[in-house]
């Protein structure tokens, strides 16, 4: 078995960080191309939006289960195979003109990217501990936010110059490059392989799911991500059809969304020593006030600058909330890092996919006013689950004191 050489640990850590935004790149890079894809493939907007949702759902469902495989059989070889298949499927989508084949390949990509992401998140728990681990996990959503910043910006220009297929050629090329570096410098990070026994694995899943602060935390980050997911689904049509701008402008606006998430994540990183309960409660309260202001504003006017301004502030607070709770969930069960990483990522993608696509299908969000209603709905639910999360954390703290 090939293990990571000590002199290569810095490179493997960089590679792990480089792959953390892969799921975001796989969705955000072609967001500016959604209207063009619908037109060129002669399908409805909903059928093209489904390519995003199928990827997110398949990735989320797979993440719920691949953690146990990675804890039992290791991270490295499964990761290499997944990178190879992801690369091939990207090229297959670029060469296809059939929406059904694209749907199938997006499901394949969702499954393979789940193996890659869960393995790389678990890599940090395998390799680091203590304050260093806390430092790295707090960087996760900062690194993750690179995708919504860079991907649609690049995708907008690729769409404008070469067409929608170029986005998937780009995805295939970058994953092929990372695969080569993994073959040269990578290795196995898992030190203690867990036996692959269904009953014991199910007991671990059960104990995690029954841990209330963990499950409420998962719901909070899923709701925070749902706001971003809905924006990704509907913004190309609002910007290009309502305000009549080009896909390049859509890319710039998505870049601002990503910059908002990054800003919130960086602020969260700077405030890492502040009490978790209080800072998340304040953030979600401000987010609710902003959503109410957006709702009231777009009842009477429709302005592109105001639309982007409200989006930026709401997404910034979402990134702040997400980074805090996400780091908490990943570090909650260090002995079963693969499973914890899988449940965290899987729940995030499955729940946010169902919520975002469900509400878009129900409301048919075609303008900023309807988007403000979606924001209000998700943020109201976030307030409820932040309250429940805070109560669960307080109950856990009291139990810990009694046990001591």
Residue ranges covered by each domain of the chain? 6-189+200-403
Rounded distance, CA 2 to CA 6, Å?
12
CA proximity to 110, closest of 143, 80, 72, 82: 82
Q: Indicate the pTM of the whole model.
A: 0.73
219 and 378 Cβ atoms separated by less than 8 Å = no
Rounded distance, CA 34 to CA 234, Å?
10
Rounded distance, CA 279 to CA 334, Å?
24
Backbone angles phi, psi at 177, to 5 degrees: -65, -45
Intra-chain end-to-end CA distance of the chain, in Å: 42
CA proximity to 307, closest of 391, 216, 368, 217: 368
Rounded distance, CA 253 to CA 337, Å?
36
CATH number of 6-189+200-403: 1.20.1250.20
348 and 291 Cβ atoms separated by less than 8 Å = no
Angle, alpha carbons 173-177-181 (nearest 5°): 165
CA distances from 372 to 3, 62, 287 (A): 50, 32, 12
Rounded distance, CA 196 to CA 198, Å?
6
CA proximity to 188, closest of 339, 88, 338: 338
Q: Count of alpha carbons within 13 Å of 161, Cβ hemisphere only?
A: 8
CA proximity to 131, closest of 12, 270, 272: 272
Exposure pattern of 55-72 as b/e (b: 16+ CB <10 Å)? bbbbbbbbbbbbbbbbbe
Burial class (CB in 10 A: 0-12, 13-18, 19+), 214: buried
CA proximity to 92, closest of 84, 102, 82, 83: 102
213 and 324 Cβ atoms separated by less than 8 Å = no
CA distances from 374 to 12, 345, 378 (A): 40, 23, 6
**Per-residue tens of pLDDT for the chain, all 404 residues:** 677 888 888 899 999 988 988 988 898 888 889 889 999 999 988 899 899 889 988 988 888 788 778 888 888 999 999 999 999 999 999 999 899 999 999 999 999 998 998 888 888 888 887 778 777 877 776 777 677 778 887 888 899 899 999 999 999 999 999 999 999 998 888 887 777 777 777 787 788 888 889 999 999 999 998 998 899 888 888 998 889 888 888 888 888 888 898 899 889 888 878 888 899 999 999 999 999 999 999 998 889 999 999 999 999 999 999 988 988 887 777 666 667 777 887 788 788 888 888 888 888 888 999 999 999 999 999 999 999 999 998 887 777 554 44
Largest interatomic CA distance in the chain: 65
């Amino acid at each position: 078995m090939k293990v990571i050489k000590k002199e290569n640990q810095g490179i493997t850590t960089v590679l792990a960080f480089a792959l953390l935004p892969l799921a975001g790149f796989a969705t955000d890079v072609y967001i500016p191309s959604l209207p063009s894809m619908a037109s060129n493939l002669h399908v409805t907007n909903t059928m093209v939006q489904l390519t995003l949702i199928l990827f997110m759902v398949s990735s989320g469902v797979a993440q719920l289960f691949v953690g146990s495989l990675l804890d039992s059989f290791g991270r490295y070889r499964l990761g290499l195979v997944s990178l190879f298949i992801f690369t091939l499927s990207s090229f297959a989508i670029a060469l296809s003109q059939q929406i059904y084949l694209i749907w199938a390949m997006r499901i394949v990509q969702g499954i393979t990217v789940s193996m890659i992401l869960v393995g790389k998140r678990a890599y940090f728990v395998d390799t680091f501990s203590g304050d260093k681990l806390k430092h790295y996990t707090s960087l996760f959503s900062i690194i993750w936010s690179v995708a919504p910043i860079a991907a649609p910006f690049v995708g907008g220009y690729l769409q404008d110059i070469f067409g929608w297929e170029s986005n998937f050629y780009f995805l295939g090329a970058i994953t092929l490059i990372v695969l080569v570096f993994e073959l040269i410098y990578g290795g196995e990070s898992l030190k203690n392989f867990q036996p692959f026994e269904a009953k014991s694995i199910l007991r671990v899943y059960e104990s995690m799911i029954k841990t209330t602060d963990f499950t409420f935390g998962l719901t909070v980050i899923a709701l925070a991500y749902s706001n971003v997911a809905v924006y990704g689904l509907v913004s190309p049509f609002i910007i290009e059809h309502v305000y009549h701008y080009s896909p390049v402008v859509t890319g710039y606006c998505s870049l601002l969304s990503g910059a908002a998430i990054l800003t919130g994540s960086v602020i969260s990183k700077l405030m890492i020593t502040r009490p978790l309960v209080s800072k998340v409660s304040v953030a979600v309260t401000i987010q609710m006030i902003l959503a109410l202001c957006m709702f009231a504003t777009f009842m009477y006017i429709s302005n592109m600058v105001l639309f982007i301004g409200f989006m930026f502030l709401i997404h910034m607070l979402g990134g702040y909330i997400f980074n805090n709770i996400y780091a908490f969930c990943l570090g909650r069960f260090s002995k079963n890092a693969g499973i914890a990483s899988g449940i965290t990522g899987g729940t995030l993608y499955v729940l946010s996919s169902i919520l975002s696509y469900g509400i878009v299908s129900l409301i048919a969000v075609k303008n900023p006013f309807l988007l403000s209603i979606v924001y209000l709905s998700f943020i109201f639910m976030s307030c409820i689950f932040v309250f429940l999360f805070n109560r669960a954390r307080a109950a856990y703290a009291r139990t810990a004191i009694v046990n001591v």
